[in-house]
Amino acid sequence: MLLASCASCGREAYPAPLRCHRCGSMSFAWVGVGSGVVEELTLRPGDSTATATVLLGTDARVIARVPATSRPGDRLPVRGAAEPGAAWVPPDPSAPPDSPAP
């Protein structure tokens, strides 16, 4: 999975913004992230997955589907497609087309 990292201040974002929300720069580099930390989650009884806020890197947070057994503080692999035991996040449409699949 790729995050946009501001070339000026290093703030990470997902999906990539037009301008950095911290410094206003329009220059970004793509950085890979392989895992994220579950911050909070919502679980419906009987479901095999939960909806969670997952911290990616240092600044970017996403809403993802995670296994129902997950708890806040768990580190999970992050993928762009549903995979058992991983947080599922839709891919950023602005990511480079030749970027590796998450």
pLDDT digits (tens, 9 = 90+) for 59-88: 899 898 899 999 999 999 887 765 666 677
pTM: 0.77
Q: What is the CATH number of domain 2-88?
A: 2.40.50
**Residues 14-51 pLDDT 10s:** 888 999 999 999 999 988 888 999 999 999 899 888 99
In the structure encoding, which two tokens stand for residue 99, read together?
Answer: 């970027």
CA 74 vs CA 2, 28, 58, 69, 81: distances in Å: 20, 29, 16, 10, 19
Widest distance between CA atoms in the chain: 46
